Amino acid sequence: MPASALIPGAIDMLLIPCPNCGPRDESEFDYGGPAIALPALEALTSDWHQALHLSSTTDQRVDEHWYHGAGCECWIRIRRDLVTHEINDAATGGDEVDA
Amino acid sequence: MKYSATTLLSQALRGQRKWPAIIAPAQLKQHYDAIIVGAGGHGLASAHYLAENHGMSDVLVLDSGWIGGGNTARNTTIVRSDYLLQPSFALKNFALKLWAQLSQELNFNLMYSPRGYIDLAHSDGELEHFMLRANAMHLAGADVSILNRNEIAEREPAIDLDPQARFPVSGALFQPEGGVVRHDAVAWGFARSASAKGIHIQQNCAVTGLTIKANRVTGVSTPLGEFATEKLLICAAGATAPLAELAGIRLPMQMINVQAFVTEPVKPILDCVVNYNAGLSYISQSDKGELVLGGATDGYLSRARRGSFARIEDTLARALQMFPWLSQLRMLRHWSGSADIPMDGNAIVGATAVNGLFVNCGWGYAGFKATPAVGWHLAELLASGTVPETLRPFALERFAEGALIDDAGIGPYPWRH
């Protein structure tokens, strides 16, 4: 559920819908950055350059990881609009996060 | 018109009604020797030095907004050069030398005030890192010292140095040459000088397309028509990456929000710039008496230009630790801006794979202090076509080659820089 549907004007800051704890203030979370697919360790330098530096730079809606340190202590994955801060598709991080 | 005491007096006698406009309205031409996109501090400084140092005045500066409407007038006006890595230090320290003469050179009062910069450490480990940084700066020829608590108290008695505090101050790095420069005066000073030298400045004119033929820049399109050129410098902060995309160049850049604050004006209490290094909260007092504060980035990607409350609380909590009396003051204004920050936190400056296309961007929230030095070297780049030695480390290729300039040692996480 987008944060703006829960509290009018909530997009002025982030209210992150944690799949475990419900909507919680951004100050409870640490930012983990865009959920980018990393290449294999032995992949070419150019593949790593593409993944680390270029893959997440132009999208307005980004899949990203947040760590709910002051809540369930889990990594979660959300899809956030970088202009409106609207959040869709919150999910638990599962195995993809190597914390 | 040269500004002087005589001019001031004669204009006063005419009721202040005969002042000429600071920049002359331009009769735009179809072709220019060079076009600069972005009339911020960096773009206008480049224009000024193109005319001043290289005799190039057939130049057009375009901006989608107005002079002093972007990040040039949103920063907290601080200038300093306390950087560990040589490329960062060299550029910003050269800028400090230029700031010292600029008001005279531009005949425009930039309100340059080298009042000293104090960076506070709150642990022994942090202080050791300050010593490393100070030693590197000292070896490179900077005037810098490490202060103990007594020396801090002597230099700036307003700082709370209570040893029983939750996070007691352990020492400080002190750069006497650091200080503040009035930021919108910088934009207008460079604009006035460039305009007086015959350079055309067009505000409210966004670049909507780039013309590239056989991998060579030939011009730009705008709502006011097409302008041809063989040398194009994109100096447009956050708009640089989308413009570079038009030329097929992907920049390793993210947008992150940065906030700043101003309190109500009070009598003089703080005569230097002070920073809380761990987590960032920097503060100085303006000539009007307002305390100007800024903090770290909001810490996550954002193009919203709206600040997060969490960062306001965080920045002010640190400021209150340094100056508990600040709690008595009300905030007068608060604003934020989009900082363009590359993956290693350092700027991207230089040539691109397209002939004649140059970029200067990614200064994040560290670009103001470097303004004259960047303009100086970009003018050299545009005039000669070769990248000056000082700018070489900032090349776009460094990301593909792995030769990053990571001042903070953080890695490819722009939101942490």
**Interchain CB contact of A69 with B (< 8 Å):** no
pLDDT band at B150 (very low <50, low <70, confident <90, very high): very high
The residues, ordered by sequence, that sit 6+ positions from B353 with a Cβ below 8 Å of its Cβ are B215, B249
How is residue B95 written in tokens?
Answer: 């800028």
**Chain B residues with CB-CB distance to A34 below 8 A:** 301
Query: Tokens for B175?
Result: 């750069």
pLDDT band at B417 (very low <50, low <70, confident <90, very high): confident
B322 has pLDDT over 90: yes
pLDDT tens per residue across span B271-291: 999 999 999 999 999 999 999
Is any Cβ of chain B less than 8 angstroms from the Cβ of A9? no
Q: How confident is the model over B342-396, as pLDDT tens digits?
A: 999 999 999 999 999 999 999 999 999 999 999 999 999 999 999 999 999 999 9
Distance to chain A for B300, nearest Cα, Å: 6
pTM of the shown model: 0.94
Is A31 close to B300, i.e. CB distance below 8 A?
yes
Alpha carbon distance B293, B75 (integer Å):
10
Q: What is the DSSP string of B184-249?
A: HHHHHHHHHHHHHTT-EEE-S----EEEEETTEEEEEEETTEEEE-S-EEE--GGGHHHHHHHTT-
Tell me: pLDDT of B261 over 60: yes
Could you give the CA distance from residue B305 to residue B96 in angstroms, rounded to a whole number?
Answer: 29
Check the CA dihedral B149-B150-B156-B160 and report its sign: positive
Provide the CA B220 distance to its chain's centre, in angstroms.
26
Give residue B309's pLDDT band: very low, low, confident or very high (50, 70, 90).
Answer: confident
A7 touches chain B (CB under 8 A): no
In the chain, the amino acid numbered B289 is G
CB B272 within 8 A of CB B117: yes
**How far apart, in whole angstroms, are the C-alpha atoms of residue B223 and residue B344?**
35
Residue B190 contacts A where some CB pair is shorter than 8 Å? no
Q: Which stretches of chain A drop beneath a pLDDT of 70? A: 1-12, 93-99
Average pLDDT of chain B, as a whole number: 95
**How do residues B211-242 score in pLDDT, each as one tens digit?**
999 999 999 999 999 999 999 999 999 999 99
pLDDT of the residue at A91: 81
Rounded mean pLDDT, B250-271: 95
At B277, which amino acid appears?
N
Spell B211-242 as b/e; 16+ CB within 10 A means b: bbeeeebebbebeeeebebbbbbbbbbbbbbe
Q: Does A39 touch chain B (CB under 8 A)?
A: no
pLDDT at position B270 over 60: yes
**C-alpha distance from A52 to closest chain B C-alpha (Å):** 7
Give pLDDT tens digits for B18-73.
Answer: 999 999 898 999 999 999 999 999 999 999 999 999 999 999 999 999 998 999 99
How do beta strands B117-121 and B273-276 pair?
Answer: parallel
Residues of A in contact with B241 (CB under 8 A): 57-58
Contacts of B306 in chain A (CB under 8 A): 12
Q: Does B249 lie at the interface with A, CB-CB under 8 angstroms? A: no
